[in-house]
Amino acid sequence: MKTQVAIIGAGPAGLLLGHVLRAEGIDCVVIERQTPDYVLGRIRAGVLEQGIVGMMARLGLDDRLKAEGLPHDGFNLADGERLIRIDVAALTGQQVVVYGQTEITRDLMDAAAARDLEVIYGADDVALHDIEGDAPFVTYVAHGKPQRIDARFIVGCDGFHGPSRQAIPASVARHFERVYPFGWLGILAEVPPCNHELIYANHERGFALASMRSATRSRYYIDVPLSERIEDWSDDRVWDELAIRLGPEAAARMTRGPSIEKSIAPLRSYVFEPMRHGSLLLCGDAAHIVPPTGAKGLNLAASDVHYAGEALVRWFRAGDGDSVADYSDKALARVWKSERFSWSLTKLMHRFPDDGPFERRMQLAELDYIASSVAAQTSIAENYVGLPV
């Protein structure tokens, strides 16, 4: 098989890029190791910046997003006693939208056939070849038979553990990483949220987050040591801990119910440079990971797709090689700013094992400053709603 662009990974980044390219008349094929049901079964973030909301609108794929998405004008920080509301709309003139990553993926999947976007599922043993030349190709196994796709460019949207990043020679690779000493224990339940906007809480017992997927489905998190086992956390124990950490105001409005999903996810900050090598471009988790504090993972992937799509369209339409050459620098400039915001919010809202009374006082002083400073709130709001692409 021959195509102009081979995309590795059919998560939201790969499918979004496929739609962007097909809308411009560029041939592409998306290759995915898992099944569609497996891809849709991943429980991920749900706070969307205007960047990805605008991309879905321009692609004509935002009908459900407009009908079911929950626009939010702000969010809250809590210090165990009070809620500090960050009025994003008043401070930036923009909103964020709560709409699950699973739903974005479903919308992109459902529209693939109409846009003549070919997606190959169940592709095993995916490997990238000749990425330093002008004729790279991808091999894989489907139904027990070896397959090959020749392309002009390959874009790796295959996540942290995929083969794309590993295809870049170690001699040019640079890794930047911070592994955090805790994970997020998340619970999903068919109950109304305790607040109409998100609450990020810093309590002396640890971090908590009150979030939602819809008006009737809530997503809550607490941080726990990496040594914790999910089997040791009954639903009642999770709800009890949430009630303490979120504070009395949120706890009074919290509706308890049985979990429909419960898991512990480790946290890390990670950036890989460069995001382009030869004819290979990286997007999303293949190149960077952010802790979920601040909800930047999916949104960063979407900004990568914006830059990659723009570069590839210019190359195929006008032979503009500079656009592809500049992709990594442009994408990384935004990546590092989002990494900074996610890292700083994680430091502010979590208790680290080595923290003592001094560090705790610093966190409380910072939260108190934020509560009284329009300038501090504006900075947070600008980053939360999404920096310009």
Spot the catalytic one: 99, 180, 221, 384. 384
Spot the catalytic one: 203, 296, 306, 350. 296
pLDDT of residue 82: 85
Instruction: Respond yes or no: is residue 291 known to be catalytic.
Output: no
Instruction: Respond yes or no: is residue 72 known to be catalytic.
Output: yes
Spot the catalytic one: 163, 193, 274, 292. 292
The domain defined by 180-267+349-385 folds into: D-Amino Acid Oxidase; Chain A, domain 2 (3.30.9)
Q: What is the CA radius of gyration of the chain?
A: 21
Instruction: Respond yes or no: is residue 38 known to be catalytic.
Output: no
pLDDT of residue 379: 97
> What are 114-129's pLDDT values in tens digits?
999 999 999 999 999 9
Query: Can you tell me the mean pLDDT for 223-247?
Result: 96
- pLDDT-derived band at 43 (thresholds 50, 70, 90) equals low
Q: Return d(Cα 262, Cα 375) in angstroms, integer.
A: 38
Query: Can you tell me the mean pLDDT for 210-230?
Result: 94
Choose the CATH number for 5-48+64-71+99-176+268-345 among 3.30.160.250, 3.30.230.10, 3.50.50.60, 3.40.50.2300: 3.50.50.60
Residue 87 reports pLDDT greater than 90:
yes
Within 264-320, residue ranges assigned H as helices are: 297-318
> What are 133-149's pLDDT values in tens digits?
999 999 999 989 999 99
Are 68 and 103 in contact, with CB atoms under 8 Å apart?
Answer: yes
- Between 164 and 40, name the one with better pLDDT: 164
Q: Return d(Cα 8, Cα 343) in angstroms, integer.
A: 28
Give CATH 3.50.50.60 domain extents, the chain. Answer: 5-48+64-71+99-176+268-345
Judged by DSSP in three states, 191 sits in coil
Instruction: Respond yes or no: is residue 292 known to be catalytic.
Output: yes
Are 216 and 282 in contact, with CB atoms under 8 Å apart?
Answer: no
Instruction: Respond yes or no: is residue 196 known to be catalytic.
Output: no
Largest CA distance in the chain: 64
Beta bridge partners of 266: 183
Judged by DSSP in three states, 37 sits in helix
Residue 341 reports pLDDT greater than 90:
yes
pTM above 0.85, yes or no: yes
> Quick one: what percent of the chain has pLDDT higher than 90?
92
Q: Return d(Cα 346, Cα 328) in angstroms, integer.
A: 26
Q: Return d(Cα 359, Cα 351) in angstroms, integer.
A: 9
pLDDT of residue 20: 98
pLDDT of residue 294: 84
End-to-end CA distance of the chain: 34
Give CATH 3.30.9.10 domain extents, the chain. Answer: 180-267+349-385
- Which CA distances in Å does 41 have to 134, 211, 268? 36, 19, 22
Q: Residue 265: which residues within 8 A CB-CB, separation 6 or more? A: 183, 184, 186, 292
- pLDDT-derived band at 347 (thresholds 50, 70, 90) equals very high
337 burial (CB, 10 Å; 0-12 / 13-18 / 19+) is middle
Q: Return d(Cα 329, Cα 115) in angstroms, integer.
A: 30
DSSP 285: G
Query: Can you tell me the mean pLDDT for 224-247?
Result: 96
CA dihedral for 95, 101, 107, 113, sign (positive or negative)? positive
Spot the catalytic one: 200, 221, 307, 327. 200
Q: Return d(Cα 292, Cα 280) in angstroms, integer.
A: 27
Spot the catalytic one: 19, 72, 306, 350. 72
